[in-house]
Chain A
Amino acid sequence: MFLLVIKRIFLGLITLFIVSLITFVGVEILPGDACTTYLEREAYGAALEACYERLGLNIPSYERYISWALGVFQGDFGYSLSGEMKINDVLGPRVKNSMVLASASIFIGIPIALLLGIITALWRDKLPDIIISTITIFSMTIPEFISATLLILIVAIWLEWLPGIVIVPTGASISELLPNIILPVIAISMIMTAHMARMVRSSVIQVMASDYVQMAILKGVPYWKMVFKHVLPNALLPAINVVALTIAWLLGGVVVTEVVFNYPGLGRLVIESISNRDLPVVQALAIILASIYVTINLIADLMTLILNPRLKSLQIKK
């Protein structure tokens, strides 16, 4: 059990190491570098040399990778393209804003998803299921930017209930963010909830069809007692992993949603840094987002491990 946990963490670290290699090599082999994009047309002669000198691009790439990776390991991402701002200072408030947005969506989304998933599974193919399932299919297939745009159009422009676009500075406090955050949270949690509700639904349906539940029904166990004692614990365990993967997958959607609402989080920073070709920041973002993904998956694996006694003696098969 303990060994297994260590192994999972180790595998996660290897994944992160490969991610760092991929982004570093990717940025290296793609045409152009930080200096040529920064200086644009003046990228020749002394100015280019000076820029290389300043950003340390004149030393061999493997040495640069090692020093960069060591810095990242200690939580130092170096300087952004212009060389004036520390990337840590750029990232700090953005990370906080995105965390506020994501955790609000998760805390609202997961309970609703569980509820909807269980309802649709227990009333399978009846009216509640048909209505809820149709809505979830719609909200999970429609792209984030469409549902976000429609939300702004309907709630902010036509009904004038809430502000449609976030106009707070990057360093705003949580209380300042609060009224602005409602629409983005709805937009993100709508898709997330739909995905998770679908998975919970099919997981519960599978367990309901299993032999021991049939046995419990035959034995005359009261319906709700059976649902809570026999079905849900067994149905929700396998769902944890899938839910984690979904949350991680939705990171991409968060980027788009933040852009639609002009929300000062990591997502908008992705777009800004790529538009400015600020490659050091892009590298830092890749590592951060990948670590979030790896961490979420790790937590999910560990949770399944802790909650499922059967797995304690087994290897997790991926």
Chain B
Amino acid sequence: MENVEQKQKSIFQKVFEIIKTMASKPSGLIGLIILSFHVLLALTSPFYVPYDYKAIDPSLMLQAPSSEYWFGTDSLGRDVFTRTILGGRTALTVTFFGSLIALIWGGSLGIFCGLVGGKIDDVVMRIIDAFLSIPWILAMLLIVSLLGTTTIVLIPALGFFYGKGIVRVARAATHDVIAKDFIVSARARGHSNLSIIWNEILPNVRDAIMVEGAMRWSWMLLGFSSLSFLGFGVSPPTPDWGLMISNARGLMSFAYWAVLAPIFGLSSLIIGINLTADAFAKALGIDRSTKAPV
């Protein structure tokens, strides 16, 4: 038991150290602050929003920002401030769980392919290449328009589509360690494939996969908001930044506040996640800047 406790402690220490390294650079610190602010907001905002996010009041249509309505009101008389601070909740939830799914299936398939190699690997990589060459937006739109836009559909669909890039990264990372001596000796000791994956390969490829997953998160957020913007994401009364921008866009020559508030919310979250992911990659010693965003 003592051993287990020690191991757990060291994991916490490791996480703490990584966060400390990330925060030691200004860009990483800014990213961490923005991201934690958004997460905190998403978790707590329902408890202190000033107005009801779906209360429609025609007499309050398109009011300019005032002390009563901080960010003004939209074309249906809803309070923009309320809707903006609530607007990130769906996006954060969907993309967070989507990234988790992407990490899990992409990582395991990638490691499997890297380990097995040969014909199976060839076939799987061909199929992944083919999926990569279908623009994500077309595939997502097709799925969503045929299966509906509930979170139950969106999370696995996004998770699937953003996971195929992780397959490549995990496979390449596995290839790098597979020929190393410790794997050969584990094989010679007669360990099963599963045990080799868990004990020998995973600790060595984990960093690369996690960094990739963090980057996927920001791209998934971008994809999710684009879907909402195009009207294929969350359904109307739900406050969501992409949807709010698309609704307020038509009237932005009179009511620019209704479009600027969600733009600020979404941009700051995406920048926050990106800076955090970049700092995370640097803290783990992985340089991502030469890779294409596939």
A interface with B by C-beta (< 8 Å)? 11, 14-16, 18-19, 22-23, 26-27, 30-32, 137-138, 141-146, 149-150, 152-153, 157, 195, 198-199, 201-203, 206, 238, 241-243, 245-246, 248-249, 251-252, 255-256, 259-260, 270-271, 274-275, 277, 282, 285-286, 289-290, 293-294, 297
Contact = CB atoms under 8 A, between A and B. Distances in A.
Looking at B136, B138, B141, the one whose CB has the most chain A CB atoms below 10 A away is: B138
B69 interface: no
Nearest to B290: A202
27 contacts: A15-B126, A19-B130, A22-B131, A26-B142, A31-B146, A137-B271, A143-B229, A145-B242, A149-B245, A152-B252, A153-B256, A198-B289, A199-B290, A202-B287, A202-B289, A242-B291, A243-B292, A245-B292, A252-B135, A252-B138, A252-B223, A259-B230, A274-B145, A274-B232, A286-B139, A293-B133, A297-B133
Interface string B243-278: 001100100110010011001001100110011000
B251 to A, nearest CB: 11
B292 A246 contact: yes
Contact of A32 (B138, B146, B270, B287): B146
Given A256-B230, A293-B135, A249 B142 contact: no
Interface string B65-86: 0000000000000000000000
9 cross-chain pairs, A with B, having the tightest CB-CB distances, nearest first: A245-B292, A18-B130, A252-B137, A202-B289, A293-B133, A30-B146, A290-B133, A242-B292, A251-B135
Contacts, number: 145
Chain B residues touching A, range? 35 or more
Given A149-B249, A149-B252, A202-B287, A19 B134 contact: yes
A286 B134 contact: yes
Contacts of B256: 153, 157
Contacts of B294: 245, 249
A225 to B, nearest CB: 26
A162 to B, nearest CB: 14
B contact patch SS: helix
Contact of B141 (A146, A201, A238, A274): A274
Contacts of A32: 146
B147 interface: yes
B129 interface: yes
Contacts of B42: none
Interface in B179-200: none
A90 to B, nearest CB: 16
Contacts of B225: 143, 145
B290 A242 contact: yes
Interface in B122-157: 126-127, 129-139, 141-143, 145-147
Looking at B142, B223, B245, the one whose CB has the most chain A CB atoms below 10 A away is: B142
B126 A256 contact: no
A14 B229 CA distance: 34
B138 A141 contact: no
B137 A282 contact: no
B146 A255 contact: no
B271 A157 contact: no
A152 B249 CA distance: 10
Given A143-B222, A293-B135, A14 B126 contact: yes
Given A15-B129, A202-B290, A256-B229, A146 B134 contact: no
Nearest to A20: B130
B293 interface: yes
Given A145-B229, A271-B230, A290 B134 contact: yes
Contacts of B245: 145-146, 149
A300 to B, nearest CB: 10
A219 B199 CA distance: 49
Contacts of A199: 289-290, 292
